[in-house]
Chain A
């Protein structure tokens, strides 16, 4: 066992786990964060996605001790009591069915919009292709990403500043 210090959603935690422990189990079972979920353990489905240093990371195949940057999970995407424009768009479009995969969908979309504020339909389809949904809500997810991109663009025009989450 070894002590690992992680900064997650602006809070610092120290846990004592085996060095081979995937980040997913530390987040879920030690820190009680339920939004990253086990889907495959192989990095194939995206249900365990978290954001680390601006990148969408698959926490099921990432060892906790390799993480040096701050981790953002869905719980920490927006300030408490507020919603990120993507989360609002997800509600407005009534995206989720069972909702199990939506953590990864939202966080991967966040990274997409951070890098490309106005993606084309083709770019959305391509960027999101690794986040699987067995309820098949893809059509609505894509609509929600377009909606959020527009909301965020409008906000930038309105305020003249970058929208921060």
Chain B
């Protein structure tokens, strides 16, 4: 089996003109696997199903419309081929964490078919049901269930067919690896391919919505799952390693041209005039496209478009007032700004009175900057307007949303637009892939030819969507025995005008063209996810806006988690500060807060939290003592810190062991330990690597990432001005402990929870707590770059 993404023949032909790699069609022909396309109207009428080559001819002719595949039809999810192989169709995308492999494992288990006899197609809006694409770490947790149920239903239907064939009741039949046999006489057997290969199930299922899709069959108890739980290798890795992978960034079509954007040089600038003659004579030049403040150039060749975008003379007018404070002044601005919204304080007990009589009150403020997605490959998309349709080739993780948004933006019927999801660079949240897809589609419609858009590095870093900056103020009151009596949490998030996914009014091109929804999205400020029992507490949150609301490079939206790393940094740093003030061990202090009351342990989160923290401490070999440890001699100080949280229903505890060079301020995390409870694990190897990536991603945000800007523009424009974690920062050792602390871990319906993001959430705090343990100095502003750590150490030294 090989991995592929479904791409129309003309695109594949163009991409393979020179490369000489085995094409999907050759592969299918050679393997005897005929994949069929029934998502289009033309195909839906065809029964038995037509082979791939015919389907692709239809696609190549630009046929449409492209109606939504019906999720209640079993045929929309599973096709059994004559050779007893199967193709699964799911409405998800895989950002590289192996969810595609995991989905296949879940469906194979329920269908009783060998993993290597199956293939999976994801996220093509005309072929796969709308499961929304990816996001929220809920692919396995939520979307895996309808996949399991439809596969179980297919197995049930096949068993009934075999029952008719053999004139035997179903309970007298056995199934293994796609073959049904008579239990009493195993020589009597029939394969799935023989039963239904190449034909439709024609089974209608039920369910109010796609998540509720179900047939008559029930899913297997966990004890009967054989493929789930195995560390099967990811099917998408070999083509990514041998160079044969097809990427959205490489999608081409006959007659395709290249586009590049020209962004306002100052935030909020107004386009005054364009001197098109400055580029008109350039080789390959086709057109300057402009509407409002949106500006792009289109050329025959890619390097020509880049050259034209640099050479185009444009007059821009700066806004009368600064669009935002400089990043140096951001936190001062955020603290003093009038919030655009504030939550009603969430009060438990009587925090004021208890705080007033506490033996010890401590207070701390924390700051987290804007951090961007800054994908390694800048945003891109290719749009083909052939035949009055619009087909967009994109790595956008929400291909269905992109389709809806583009249809609305261009005023096209939704069924004339389709999005073909293809592999691309890292997509964790609302990336600029949304924006580039819209831009490619708009330009393709304007030019009347297929257009490939790609952003440049400076655009990606300066203009992609940012996770909100935060300021926090926390107060805690301890009694004489060091027990936490009262806690106040007050957070401010720069999250006003929170950009949604593929929203035709708020994608960057729409903003620059002057489109505005009725009101900016309010945004939110979040609170830490933990289960500490604190008898008196007040939690307040506020959202603040920056002066420039629209057309700003400081656009905020969902970045991986999306607010967890920020709020967990503040929450779990402060718990550590309280533990230090109480002269308590950081693990014991947390466990006491979790065991104080167990009467309201919803979803066993508290029980599971305790188990996960204990597992992390045991794996690390935690030595029970308060932080900081006595400061050592020599330039290198070592320490360890813990942090914990849950996300959704997944619980994570992390321990970082750091080396801090007090002469340079350099921090190296030498070792990470992560204990992780996400319920039933589908693929342990995949989970482990997902966690490793999350830990280092959290570390990158802890040590390096900060979007910087002056009062005119974002000044972070490349990897020097917006550094990221490198090989040099990599820990020597990462230990992952998979915990299953369900009170009844052997229950047959043990659920599978999400793992895509939770383990990036506690990392910043774990590192900060380890730095404190090593140095006795608390660092409260992210990121912990060498110069900031050194300055903080020196300031603390001078103060003492």
Contact = CB atoms under 8 A, between A and B. Distances in A.
| B is bound to A | yes
A72 to B, nearest CB: 11
B348 interface: no
A40 B377 CA distance: 7
A78 B243 CA distance: 11
A98 B301 CA distance: 27
B69 to A, nearest CB: 26
Contact of A100 (B16, B426, B694): B426
B452 to A, nearest CB: 10
Contacts of A87: 241-242
Contact of B18 (A31, A37, A96, A135): A31
B376 A134 contact: yes
A136 B697 contact: yes
Contact of A74 (B243, B304, B692, B697): B243
A35 B15 CA distance: 12
Contacts of A130: 726
A21 B303 contact: yes
Interface stretch (A51-59, A121-129, A152-160): A121-129
Interface string B713-730: 000001110001111111
A129 B726 contact: yes
Contacts, number: 188
A101 B236 contact: no
Interface string B233-268: 110111011111111011000000000000000000
Given A38-B249, A90-B241, A125-B727, A29 B301 contact: yes
A86 to B, nearest CB: 9
Interface in A62-87: 73-75, 77-78, 83, 87
B243, B247, B423, most chain A CB atoms within 10 A? B243
A119 B245 CA distance: 30
Given A39-B377, A44-B720, A128-B727, A96 B96 contact: yes
A5 interface: no
Interface string A94-116: 11111111110010000000000
B378 interface: yes
B692 A139 contact: yes
A97 B454 CA distance: 22
Contacts of B240: 96, 99, 102
A28 interface: yes
B691 to A, nearest CB: 11
Given A73-B243, A136-B697, A139-B730, A91 B238 contact: yes
Contact of B427 (A1, A98, A124, A125): A98
B787 to A, nearest CB: 19
A149 interface: no
Contacts of A96: 96, 236-237, 240-241
A165 interface: no
A96 to B, nearest CB: 5
Contacts of B247: 34, 37, 100
A1 B377 contact: no
A47 interface: yes
Contact of B237 (A34, A73, A99, A133): A99
A103 B243 CA distance: 8
Interface in B341-377: 374-377
B283 interface: yes
Interface residues of A, number: 63
A99 B423 contact: yes
A121 B694 CA distance: 22
B648 interface: no
B30 interface: no
Interface string B296-314: 0000011110100000000
Contacts of B250: 28, 34
Nearest to B376: A134
A83 B454 CA distance: 31
B303 A25 contact: yes
A137 to B, nearest CB: 6
Nearest to A80: B20
B457 interface: yes
B339 interface: no
A99 B727 contact: no
A39 B249 CA distance: 11
B797 interface: no
Q: For chain B, give the interface size range.
A: 35 or more
Nearest to B700: A136
Given A39-B457, A87-B241, A129 B693 contact: no
Interface in B612-631: none
B17 interface: yes
A6 interface: no
Interface in A10-27: 17-18, 20-22, 25
A130 B725 CA distance: 10
B702 to A, nearest CB: 12
Contact of B249 (A37, A44, A45): A37
A83 B242 CA distance: 7
B456 A138 contact: no
A78 B306 CA distance: 33
A17 B97 CA distance: 39
B689 interface: yes
B508 interface: no
Contact of B727 (A21, A47, A134, A138): A138
A17 B300 CA distance: 12
B424 interface: yes
Contact of B719 (A33, A44, A126, A135): A44
A125 B423 CA distance: 28
Contacts of B454: 38
A121 B507 CA distance: 44
A95 to B, nearest CB: 7
A88 to B, nearest CB: 8
Contacts of A78: 242
A47 B376 contact: yes
A106 B454 CA distance: 25
A88 B233 CA distance: 12
B734 interface: yes
Contacts of B425: 98, 100-101, 134
A142 B727 contact: yes
Contacts of A94: 233-234, 237, 685-686, 689
Nearest to B425: A100
A49 interface: no
B476 to A, nearest CB: 33
Given A47-B377, A97-B426, A136 B241 contact: no
Contacts of A139: 692, 696, 730-731, 734
B581 to A, nearest CB: 34
A75 B19 contact: yes
A113 to B, nearest CB: 15
Given A18-B283, A132-B376, A138-B696, A25 B301 contact: yes
A97 B700 contact: no
A95 B283 contact: no
A29 B302 contact: yes
A142 B732 CA distance: 10
Contact of A132 (B19, B249, B724): B724
A45 B685 CA distance: 28
A150 interface: no
A87 B237 CA distance: 10
A1 B283 contact: yes
A103 B731 CA distance: 23
Contacts of A124: 727
B419 to A, nearest CB: 18
6 contacts: A17-B303, A38-B249, A38-B378, A41-B456, A129-B727, A135-B697
Interface of B: 15-19, 21, 95-97, 233-234, 236-238, 240-247, 249-250, 283, 301-304, 306, 374-378, 423-427, 454, 456-457, 685-686, 689-690, 692-697, 699-700, 718-720, 724-732, 734
Given A94-B234, A135-B426, A137-B692, 4 more contacts: A33-B19, A33-B243, A42-B457, A135-B96
Q: Give me the 3 closest cross-chain CB pairs, A-B, nearest first.
A: A32-B18, A99-B240, A97-B96
